[in-house]
């Protein structure tokens, strides 16, 4: 069901997802940071796996493992942060803004 403005009944409603955006950004940073901790183990695993192919394979494996750890950490953190921010949007912030009268309101009638 599309939300409508409680003041003027307009259905031209903009969704403001501050929490989701901020949460996603914070989560991505936090995830990449914790991913950096995984980089060491990722590099280690990659180096061991790559060692089968010789020294070049070992270096390549270490880089691949590091990058993967960063990507996975960042993506996981971003998803978690966005999900958390969405909860904030739903429960705390005024999520919707009326394009006609400028009134802001949450998803639940207050």
Residues that bind Zn ion (CB under 5 A): 5, 7-8, 10, 98, 100-101, 103
**CB 108 → Zn ion: shortest distance, Å?**
17
End-to-end CA distance of the chain: 18
Of 8 and 92, which CB lies nearer to Zn ion in the complex structure?
8
Positive or negative, the CA dihedral 51, 53, 54, 58 is negative
Distance between CA atoms of residues 15 and 5, nearest Å? 12
Of 5 and 28, which CB lies nearer to Zn ion in the complex structure?
5
The edge-to-edge listing of strands for the beta sheet with 104-105 is 13-15, 96-98, 104-105
Of 84 and 103, which CB lies nearer to Zn ion in the complex structure?
103
**CB 12 → Zn ion: shortest distance, Å?**
8
**CB 7 → Zn ion: shortest distance, Å?**
5
């Amino acid at each position: 069901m599309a939300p409508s403005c409680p003041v003027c009944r307009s259905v031209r409603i903009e969704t403001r997802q501050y929490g989701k955006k901020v949460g996603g950004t914070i989560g991505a940073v936090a995830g990449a940071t914790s991913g950096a901790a995984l980089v060491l183990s990722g590099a280690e695993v990659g180096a061991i796996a790559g060692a089968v192919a010789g020294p070049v394979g070992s270096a390549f494996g270490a880089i691949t493992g590091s990058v993967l750890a960063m990507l996975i950490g960042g993506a996981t953190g971003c998803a978690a942060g966005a999900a958390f921010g969405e909860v904030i949007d739903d429960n705390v912030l005024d999520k919707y803004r009326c394009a006609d009268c400028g009134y802001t309101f949450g998803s639940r009638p207050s």
